[in-house]
């Protein structure tokens, strides 16, 4: 599933396309997208005749701002789900199979969402309403914002009895982190991924907050991680999969100490850790 760096790559790609011409047509396939209940009303037709503005990101969501024809500010939230891809084409280009959404601009270009598995989602409406309601309104802080650090992380997760890796995936605690980057950040911080979150000491939270920022930033610099489906706006794969140090590498040697990496499954999600660099703690608190 696209995580913060992949969604950020798509956001940058859309931004670079400099879409400024008004929307002349909103096209939607007959197929439902399977994202959660709060997305039921897509309300996409409100974007007609709107002028595209700033493209932002919040967690794993693209939030695109539009100037409405009546002076109102609208927004379009795009969730890429498992296999969603956003691209910019000319309107004359035939739609490929699994295209579910197209926004045609007055300059004859189209932004299209192609999503074979249809786990993605779309929602439009007044921007302030979108920002205040689910799924955007309940998201936790952005890990790449200036105020993010160990203290904030401890405040959000310090009481949790869940394994730290699982707790990090809670979007209401921290926005944008998914399994790949959580597993990588825990390795870089030397923290056993299955330790209960409340056992982490302030120094461990600070270290973890630092490595979360580092792995996300590296993911962005590498244009995202492509294990299977992810493509950027240009249709290219990311490069970060080559730089993953433990994720997907169970049974391989640890890149730091050469011990054999151990795979695990928790909360239905797999991961890997180094038994030497991330030892199972013997004391109550993890420093
Ligand atoms: Zn190691």
Each residue's pLDDT, cut to its tens digit, for the chain (287 residues) gives 799 999 999 999 999 999 999 999 999 999 988 776 667 689 999 999 999 999 999 999 999 999 998 999 999 999 998 888 999 999 999 999 999 999 999 999 999 999 988 888 999 999 999 999 988 999 999 999 999 999 999 999 999 999 999 999 999 999 999 999 999 999 999 999 999 999 999 999 999 999 999 999 999 999 999 988 889 998 889 999 999 999 999 999 999 999 999 999 999 999 999 999 999 988 777 78
Nearest to 239 by CA among 4, 5, 1: 5
Task: Give residue 276 CA to ligand 1 midpoint distance, Å.
Answer: 5
Sign of CA dihedral 173, 175, 178, 182: negative
In a domain, 284, yes or no: no
pLDDT of residue 22: 98
> Scanning the structure block, which residue is given the tokens 């926005």?
175
Task: Give residue 178 CA to ligand 1 midpoint distance, Å.
Answer: 22
User: In 3-state terms, what secondary structure has residue 80?
Assistant: coil
pLDDT of residue 228: 83
Task: Give residue 40 CA to ligand 1 midpoint distance, Å.
Answer: 46
Asked if 222 and 240 touch (Cβ cutoff 8 Å), the reply is yes
In a domain, 143, yes or no: no
Residues classed as catalytic: 2-3, 60, 269
Same domain, 268 and 198: yes
Distance in angstroms (rounded) separating the CA atoms of residues 231 and 225: 9
Name the domain boundary from 114, 138, 162: 138
Task: Give residue 257 CA to ligand 1 midpoint distance, Å.
Answer: 4
Name the domain boundary from 138, 161, 186: 138
How many Cβ atoms sit within 10 Å of the Cβ of residue 10?
24
Same domain, 82 and 155: no
Give the tokens for residue 83: 């296999």
Residue 122 per-residue DSSP state: E
Residue 20 per-residue DSSP state: -
User: Burial letters for 164-177: b for 16+ Cβ neighbours within 10 Å, e otherwise?
Assistant: bbbbbbbbebbbbb
Same domain, 43 and 111: yes
pLDDT of residue 282: 85
Task: Give residue 251 CA to ligand 1 midpoint distance, Å.
Answer: 12
Task: Give residue 185 CA to ligand 1 midpoint distance, Å.
Answer: 14
Task: Give residue 260 CA to ligand 1 midpoint distance, Å.
Answer: 8
Q: Which residue range(s) make up the domain with 28?
A: 4-138
CATH of the domain at 22: 3.20.190.10
Same domain, 132 and 237: no
Same domain, 201 and 82: no
The number of folded domains in the chain is: 2
Task: Give residue 124 CA to ligand 1 midpoint distance, Å.
Answer: 46
Same domain, 255 and 155: yes
In a domain, 283, yes or no: no
Task: Give residue 135 CA to ligand 1 midpoint distance, Å.
Answer: 37
In a domain, 184, yes or no: yes
Name the domain boundary from 82, 107, 138: 138
pLDDT of residue 229: 82
**Residue 284 burial class via C-beta count within 10 angstroms: exposed 0-12, middle 13-18, buried 19 and up:** exposed
In a domain, 134, yes or no: yes
Same domain, 9 and 120: yes
Same domain, 265 and 161: yes
In a domain, 258, yes or no: yes
Same domain, 173 and 123: no
Give this prediction's pTM. 0.94
Distance in angstroms (rounded) separating the CA atoms of residues 189 and 211: 6
CATH of the domain at 250: 1.10.8.50
Task: Give residue 82 CA to ligand 1 midpoint distance, Å.
Answer: 31
**Residue 111 burial class via C-beta count within 10 angstroms: exposed 0-12, middle 13-18, buried 19 and up:** buried
């Amino acid at each position: 599933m696209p995580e913060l760096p992949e969604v950020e790559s798509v956001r940058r790609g859309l931004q670079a396309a400099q879409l400024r011409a008004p929307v002349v047509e909103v096209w939607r396939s007959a197929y439902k997208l399977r994202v959660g209940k709060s997305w039921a009303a897509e309300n996409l037709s409100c974007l007609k005749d709107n002028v595209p503005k700033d493209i932002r990101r919040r967690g794993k969501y693209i939030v695109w701002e539009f100037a409405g024809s009546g002076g109102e500010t609208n927004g379009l939230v795009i969730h890429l789900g498992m296999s969603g891809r956003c691209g910019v084409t000319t309107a004359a280009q035939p739609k490929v199979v699994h295209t579910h959404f197209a926004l045609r601009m007055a300059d004859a270009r189209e932004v299209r969402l192609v999503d074979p598995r249809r786990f993605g989602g779309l929602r439009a409406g007044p921007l302030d309403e979108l920002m205040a309601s689910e799924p955007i309104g309940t998201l936790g802080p952005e890990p790449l914002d200036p105020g993010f650090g160990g203290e904030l992380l401890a405040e959000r997760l310090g009481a949790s009895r869940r394994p730290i890796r699982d707790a990090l995936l809670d979007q209401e605690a921290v926005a944008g982190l998914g399994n790949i980057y959580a597993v990588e950040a825990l390795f870089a911080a030397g923290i056993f991924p299955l330790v209960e979150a409340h056992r982490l000491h302030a120094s461990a939270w600070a270290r973890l907050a630092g490595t979360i920022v580092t792995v996300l930033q590296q993911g962005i610099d590498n244009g995202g991680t492509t294990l299977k489906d992810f493509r950027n706006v240009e249709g290219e794969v990311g490069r970060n999969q080559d730089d993953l140090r433990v994720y997907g590498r169970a049974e391989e040697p640890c890149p730091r100490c050469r011990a054999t990496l151990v795979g695990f499954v928790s909360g239905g999600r797999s991961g890997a850790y180094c038994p030497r660099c991330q030892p199972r703690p013997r004391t109550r608190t993890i420093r």
